[in-house]
Amino acid sequence: MSQSCLPRLPSRKIFGVDVATLSKSEALDVIVDGLRTSRSINVAFANANLLLKARRDPLLQRQLGGMLVLNDGVGVDIASRILYGKGFPENLNGTDLTPELLKRLPKRTPVFLYGSRPAVVCRAAEILRQKYQSEICGVCDGYCDNPDVAVDAIKRAHAKVVLVALGNPKQEQWMSEKVSACGVLALGVGGYLDVETGRVKRPPRWLRTAKCEWLFRITQEPSRLWRRYTIEVIWFLAAVALDRIAVSSPWGRLRREL
């Protein structure tokens, strides 16, 4: 999909990726409006981990350039404070924003679920039908080797919205390469279906308000997540600080003026 599908939005560049500076309701307006006007929009929730991958991978950076990229997590907020002296209006992650979107979709909008384990995606379909009266028109788990299987299923189901739960950067790469063939609105929602089905627990609200959800997530999946939320976040913030120093150096100022 191309950037032209997106309206011009206020944003801040972090590692070459334009991260939109929108409140939750503004982000929902952009997404619902894209759907109303049949614009094919991909939505990515950028946490420190994804931005760090984009920093090392110019192709991923370009792929994200065609999407509505929203800020996910305290690391990205601190990065914005280091680079621009201010944080984002709100924390926007897939797990909180997706239910709000499902509630706001026009009645009978066909929604397709792609990704996560077979039992999770089937159970998630039942839950979303009951909880949000969503019109789930099809599902496909995320462990098939051929990504075109999902594309064919999405087309056959005449989906208008696809929730893509493949983890990052797989879901962003899939959206960038495949979604224009489906002509849908796609959101890379990471572990959202795991949360809805109770396979992954969310922390109590006070821990989320204190911006410490990451601490809770480490206790849930220590072997997969400890490195991401410790060494990688430190590395991410160090790289952001280096960018900040480079930009304010005489050479950085000259480069911006040229």
Q: Which residues bind ligand UDP (CB under 6 A)?
A: 115-117, 142-143, 165-168, 170, 190-191, 193-194
Q: Where in the chain does DSSP place strands (E)?
A: 11-14, 17-20, 42-46, 68-71, 110-115, 135-140, 161-165, 185-188
Residue 66 or residue 191: which is nearer to ligand UDP going by CB? 191
Residue 67's contacts (CB-CB under 8 Å, 6 or more residues apart) are 1, 6, 41, 42, 43, 44, 172, 175, 176
Closest separation between CB of residue 200 and ligand UDP, Å? Answer: 7
Q: Which of 156, 151, 144, 149 is nearest to 181 (CA)?
A: 151
CA 225 to chain centre: 18
- Assess contact for 46 and 230: CB atoms under 8 A: no
Q: Which of 92, 68, 99 is nearest to 185 (CA)?
A: 68
Residue 26 or residue 232: which is nearer to ligand UDP going by CB? 232
Closest separation between CB of residue 191 and ligand UDP, Å? Answer: 3
Closest separation between CB of residue 220 and ligand UDP, Å? Answer: 10
Residue 5 or residue 195: which is nearer to ligand UDP going by CB? 195
- Assess contact for 52 and 239: CB atoms under 8 A: yes
Residue 143 or residue 235: which is nearer to ligand UDP going by CB? 143
- Cα torsion through 205, 46, 136, 41, rounded to 10: 140
Q: Which of 46, 44, 71, 74 is nearest to 214 (CA)?
A: 74
Residue 40 or residue 49: which is nearer to ligand UDP going by CB? 49
Closest separation between CB of residue 95 and ligand UDP, Å? Answer: 8
Residue 42 or residue 243: which is nearer to ligand UDP going by CB? 42
Closest separation between CB of residue 45 and ligand UDP, Å? Answer: 9
Residue nearest to ligand UDP (CB): 142
Q: Which of 195, 178, 194 is nearest to 186 (CA)?
A: 178
The Cα 7–Cα 36 span in angstroms is 14
Residue 159 or residue 166: which is nearer to ligand UDP going by CB? 166
Closest separation between CB of residue 254 and ligand UDP, Å? Answer: 38
Token couple for 241 = 């600080």
Closest separation between CB of residue 29 and ligand UDP, Å? Answer: 25
